Amino acid sequence: MTTKRLLRIAAKDGETALGLWEMQPVGPAILPPVLLVHGATFGSALFDLPLAGYSLMQELARGRFVYAIDARGYGVSIETGVMNAPMAAHPPFSRARHAVADVGTAVSEIGRRRKVLSIDVVGFSWGSIVAGWYASQHAADVRRLVLYAPLFAEKNALWLDRIGDAADSSKLAGHFGAYRLITMADVVARWNSDAPGDPADVRADGVVEALFEAAASTDVLAGSHHPRAFRCPNGAFADLVEVFNGRPLYDPGTIEAPVLLVRGACDTTSTASDMQRLEAAIGSAAKSSLEIPDGSHFLCIEKNHMSLYRAINTYLTMD
């Protein structure tokens, strides 16, 4: 049985209190620690659902310490001045560059606690940008890198229709303030938009409810909204409108760590062509890519999630 606890660490700005989750290993810690970096919406809750078999953290905790960061504005790191102000009072909050700094804080804390010089890093979706960006600047800190549902720089009309300005899709739509509210209906609609065919073919009963509850449980204001909703920063959207216009946010040519890129074959957010473009641009000579069938953008909590878990685990345990 694994034990999970919350560590509180101070961000480099000296003002933000970050939440870093630590899961102790099953058996002795014989493998390097791994840090998981979440995507644009759900925070670290996505990596540890309270459903049997739906925890990437638990799967990776066999012989290693596993950590998951909530970047500023997400999950247990939500209590910031910006996130407590009216959403229209500030521009989109918690950009990738800020999350890169938060990852750096987490890596330093993990290194201090575990007495290691480098760790493994796994980034999902928007978090793949953050993780790749961090690895491109801190070669000595990253032993292996996994970019799941990776995003880099490709024109994505589907997403530009969702978040781009109607008059100029090269810009984020002007109605996005510091954060947005996410309801259960929003979660279902977002997942359904990426699932091929009938969502029930890829999504087991109860999973979407567990995901929403896990995310909403960290927001003390969730119950004050009708319907119930949790706050989610919009900085990632400001980053994604750049990426989905073909404008990369960082240079992967300076990544030196071995890299695995992996996506669900039916993912319409992280496309096969964008993954290929990123793989070609990565500077490391040790790089590979993998497509897993029968999976959308949320493969990590779909019926075929164990294929993803095994792929990541296998890669991180290679000599």
Tens digit of each residue's pLDDT (9 = 90 or more) over 141-200: 999 999 999 999 999 999 999 999 999 999 999 999 999 999 999 999 999 988 878 888
Express each pLDDT in 55-65 by its tens digit. 999 999 999 99
The pTM score is 0.97
Question: What amino acid occupies position 34?
Answer: V
Residue 111 scores a pLDDT above 90: yes
* pLDDT recorded at residue 1: 63
* pLDDT recorded at residue 16: 85
* pLDDT recorded at residue 72: 97
* pLDDT recorded at residue 12: 81
**66 forms bridges with which residues in the sheet?**
23, 34
* pLDDT recorded at residue 288: 98
Domains in the chain, CATH or no CATH each: 4-316 (3.40.50.1820)
Terminal alpha carbon distance of the chain: 26
For residue 181 the two structure tokens come to: 């509210």
Share of the chain above pLDDT 90, in %: 92
* Residue length of the chain: 319
Quick one: pLDDT band at residue 106, thresholds 50, 70, 90?
A: very high
* pLDDT recorded at residue 232: 98
Q: Which residues contact 23 (CB under 8 A, 6 or more apart)?
A: 2, 3, 4, 48, 57, 58, 61, 65, 66, 67, 68
Residue 259 scores a pLDDT above 80: yes
What average pLDDT does this structure show over 260-266?
A: 97
**22 forms bridges with which residues in the sheet?**
5, 67
Closest among 54, 2, 11, 63 to 34, alpha carbons compared:
63
Mean pLDDT score across all residues of the chain? 96
- In whole angstroms, what is the distance from residue 26 CA to residue 201 CA? 32
